[in-house]
Each structure stands twice: as C-alpha cells, then as structure tokens.
Amino acid sequence: MQARRSTTSIQFLTTALMTTLSLDNPQFIRLTRLTFPLNAFACATWLEEGQVNYLHYGLFDADHPSLMAAQGQSTKLIMERLPAPGAQILEIGIGLGTTAARLVALGYHVIGIAPDAMQVAIAREKAGAGGQFAAVRFEDFPVTGERVDGILLQESAQYLNPTQLFSLARAWLKAGGEILVLDQFALRRTDPKESLLHFGEDFVQQAEKQGFYLVEHLDLSTQATPTLDYLLKVLVAHENALTHCLPNAVMELDQLRAAVAANLDRYRQGVLGYALYHFRLNSS
C-alpha cells in the first residue's frame, strides 16, 4: 500500500512539474493568445501531449489510436486529393500552419488566411518564405487576378455562408479547380436553434448552383467522434491549469466543456457528423 502511495505521489509531482514547465514555455504562451476557444483546445492538448500540431479533429482507427496520429490521418486524407505539387492552393483557416508548411515543403504554392493574427504569425514561422499568409476573413479577402488550382477548408466552412463561400470560391478558382472541405455537418434537419452547422444536402445544392459538381463525399463521423471524447477528457483533466493560463475565460471554459459534451451526445445520436466533400468547378 505504501509503495502504491509513493508511486501515485511521484506521478502527481511529475504531472505538476510538467504543467509548470509548459506554462512557462514560450510556444505554450503563444497558444494562450489564440482566439477562444482555439486557445483552450490548443493549450489542453499541449498539456496532455507536450506538443500540438493541429487544431482540427482527428480520424481515429486501429492504426491511428492517438490524437496526433488521427489528426495526421485527417490531413493525409485531404492531401491525397489535392492537385499535384506545383499547384497553387488557397487554405482558408490555417490552424497552426502545419498543413501549409507540409504543402510548401512538397512544392505547392500556398496562400493561407485566418482571422486570428496569432495563427498567421505561427504559420509564417513554420512555412517560412514559401507561403503567403494574411490575417483576414475569407469574406473580406480581396479577389485578385491570381487564380488558384485548389481551395482547402478544414473545419472553416462551418463559419461561412455556403452561398457566399461557393460564389467567392468560383471567383478564386481556375476552370476545373477543386474545393476540399473537411468539417462538421448536420445529418438531420433540426431546429436551427439546435445546430448552426450546415445540412449536407443543402451544402451540395449551393455548390451546384455556383457551377460546382460533387466529386466525392465521405461520412467520417465514426472516425471523428473520439476527438470529442478526447477534448472533453483533457478539458476536465487540465481544468486548473487552463483556468490559470486563461484567467479571462473561466466562465467560457465551463460553457465550452458543456458544449463539447452536448456535441458528443449529438454525434452519438446521429444528429451531427463529420464529412469530406470534394467539389470541382465545371470547366465550361
């Protein structure tokens, strides 16, 4: 019994020491300056894993059981469907710049945007001179004479009006250009007050009205659901540390945990889900 208590005490002290070191880490401090709730998710993941590469959901399976592996699997799914290296890609919602940096390393020409200036600063640091980044919303990003081969949205389409999204995408894309969307969607028509997410069928119809056709649709809800389990776990496990490093968001953290739990229930009930939509602009 005494040996077990000693082991538990050592584990507690080790966890406390690791948390203290994390809170003083310059990279961690930058994560606290992201917009809420991105800062909460990023900080909780860092405290649990010792690092954070992405802000999006993971796609879990037997070969990708950890969050970081599952997030990498999600990005791999998208990258396999992009045009060949050398193409010009517009990434709307850049996360922490990890995907953009990988694309630049592979030879893509990347334009990345996000409304959060700290996200843009982190992405610039990761991608170096090979990418162009701007702290701006897609709705406010001026369309230039430059056209891109593909547009990538990982969990940013949910914040955009679909009509505006596809209209602006049409203006940005070359003929035959592609849009890849990986995001949460409503799987059933529900009271709008219950879900602000787009209903999948309506999303496709809006794309078609703007001259796009659906290349591929994958329902990834089962693989994505463990992300919510993970987020709920780490938000609870690191509640004290998060309250310390995000002192202005104590009430919001309580609401965030409740929202994650509610979304997890909706996933299990089949009300919400996660999907890939791959569209192509008609060449005519």
What pLDDT is attached to residue 113?
98
Q: What does pTM read for this prediction? A: 0.90
Where in the chain are the domains?
25-284
Q: Where are the alpha helices (DSSP H) in 128-275?
A: 162-172, 200-209, 221-237, 239-245, 250-269
Condensed to tens digits (0 to 9), the pLDDT of residues 122-153 reads 999 999 888 999 999 999 999 887 899 999 99
> Binning pLDDT at 50, 70 and 90, where does residue 248 land?
confident
- List 112's β-bridge partners, or say none: 91, 133
pLDDT in tens, 175-227: 999 999 999 999 987 665 556 799 999 999 999 999 999 999 999 999 999 99
CA contacts within 13 A on the Cβ side of 39: 25
Distance separating alpha carbons of residues 176 and 195, to the nearest angstrom:
33
User: 175 φ, ψ to 5°?
Assistant: -60, 135
pLDDT band at 13 (very low <50, low <70, confident <90, very high): very low
121-150: string of b/e by CB count within 10 Å (b at 16+)? ebbbebbeeebebbeeebeeeeeeeeebbb
pLDDT score, position 2: 54
Distances (CA, A) of 127 to 51, 57, 92, 130: 18, 21, 15, 6
**Predicted pLDDT of residue 23:** 75
Residue 24 confidence (pLDDT) = 79
- Distance (Å, whole) CA 93 – CA 99: 11
- Give, as one character, the DSSP assignment of residue 270: T
Q: Which pLDDT belongs to residue 19?
A: 53
Residue 14 reports pLDDT greater than 60: no
What tens digit of pLDDT does each residue of 46-105 get?
Answer: 999 999 999 999 999 999 999 999 999 999 999 999 999 999 999 999 999 999 999 999
What is residue 18's predicted lDDT score, i.e. its pLDDT? 46
Please answer whether residues 183 and 260 qualify as being in contact, where contact means their C-beta atoms are separated by less than 8 angstroms. no
Yes or no: say if 235 and 260 are a contact pair by the CB < 8 Å rule: yes
Return the CATH number of 25-284, one of 3.30.460.80, 3.40.50.150, 1.10.3720.10, 3.40.50.10260.
3.40.50.150
Predicted confidence at residue 189, as pLDDT, reads 76
